[in-house]
Chains A and B, each alone.
Chain A
Amino acid sequence: MDNFLSFHHIGIACRQIARTQAFYEAMGYDASPVVDDPIQHVRVCFLTKAGEPCVELLEPLDGESPVARILATVGVSPYHMCYKVDDIAAAVARLREQRFLLVSGPVPACAMGQRRVAFLFNKNVGLIELVESSPVAIE
């Protein structure tokens, strides 16, 4: 398999972004503005630091949020790795061939500048997110 996935960030489910964000800021990470994404039912904040992996904090907006279900299962925890892809439809198709379930998407993500994201699951890999390199063209 050639490398069509480029690491983007680690996603962490948290109950309150501010509380988890404080730990990373104390370690020198810079925090993005917090964005609400009603499509994904999450509140999102990105944390960046030169030379370190990007971290995405996700707080549930409501009980329907998949993050609420993750919190109920494992508590505050890293729960997905995100990879950047050039063509999200093609990447989803390739991963489906490798027995990844398509859990959601592709849908535009507010916190990602309207770039489309999709979540997939494989029992040997876990949950991954794909984000496409460029935003969807709005006609």
Chain B
Amino acid sequence: MNLEEKILGIMREVFDTTDVNEQTSQRNCENWDSLRHLSLASELEEAFDIELEPEEIGQMTDFSRVVETVRAKQ
């Protein structure tokens, strides 16, 4: 499983929906609320053994930016 697939799986689990893909963003995903956003960041830290800074958590507003942020930390 590559990084993108792993992140999609985490997002589907956190947002509790299978309707998550490469185009998913906070704007078009109803379940991507502020509390689930923190849960997403928490799950990413654990899954990839990384530490995210507050600014990085704030900029993860869509799938592409989540991937960019995680990739930059590895």
Contact = CB atoms under 8 A, between A and B. Distances in A.
A122 B42 contact: yes
Interface residues of B, number: 15
Interface stretch (B16-24, B43-51, B62-70): B43-51
B59 interface: no
A123 B35 contact: no
A107 to B, nearest CB: 10
Contacts of B45: 99, 101
A66 B34 contact: yes
A121 B34 contact: no
A72 B45 CA distance: 26
A123 B43 contact: yes
Interface of A: 66, 69-70, 72-74, 96, 99, 101-105, 121-123, 127
Interface of B: 33-35, 38-39, 41-43, 45-46, 51-54, 57
Given A101-B41, A121-B41, 15 more contacts: A73-B35, A96-B51, A101-B38, A101-B42, A101-B45, A102-B53, A102-B54, A103-B38, A103-B54, A103-B57, A121-B42, A123-B39, A123-B43, A127-B35, A127-B38
B27 to A, nearest CB: 14
Given A101-B42, A121-B42, A74 B51 contact: no
A3 B24 CA distance: 41
A104 B34 CA distance: 14
Q: Which 7 A-B pairs have the closest CB atoms?
A: A69-B34, A121-B38, A73-B33, A123-B42, A104-B54, A101-B41, A73-B34
B66 to A, nearest CB: 14
A39 to B, nearest CB: 13
A103 B34 CA distance: 11
A72 B12 CA distance: 21
